[in-house]
Amino acid sequence: MEALLTISFLAFLVERVINVVKPLVDPLWRWSVSPYPYLALVLGWVVAGVYAADVVLAAGAVSDPTTAQSITGIIITGIIIGGGSNVVSEVIGWLKATRENKTP
């Protein structure tokens, strides 16, 4: 349960960083493809690596991981954190809309 809470918090952290960076990047971005999913993925990997967040280890799939298993777990966790930041953003938007008595 603690691992899920940690990953959720890290996804929230990535989502907030993306929202702070958006106003700075939007005026400079000239391509039709949005950079934010890729930025969230990279930030998810960085955050998972810095905090050694490993969902595979936390799930108990590996009891004594090798270096390769640990790196793989951190990469998978980074993908989950980066993808989860979009979910966090949607939940925050839904909560704001609900608080303003609007339908999401």
Q: State how far the Cα of 83 lies from the Cα of 75, in Å rounded to an integer.
A: 12
The whole-number pLDDT of residue 1 equals: 64
Instruction: Identify residue 89 by its one-letter amino acid code.
Output: S
Two tokens, residue 48: 């998972």
The whole-number pLDDT of residue 63 equals: 75
Rg of the chain over all Cα atoms, to the nearest angstrom: 16
Question: Got the DSSP string for 51-101?
Answer: TT--HHHHTTS-SS--HHHHHHHHHHHHHHHHHHHHHHHHHHHHHHHHHTT
**Domain ranges within the chain, ordered by starting residue:** 2-99
pLDDT in tens, the chain (104 residues): 687 788 888 988 998 999 899 999 999 989 999 898 899 999 999 999 999 888 888 887 877 778 888 888 899 999 988 887 777 777 777 777 777 765 55
Two tokens, residue 1: 């349960």
Query: What single DSSP character describes residue 100?
Result: T
The whole-number pLDDT of residue 103 equals: 53
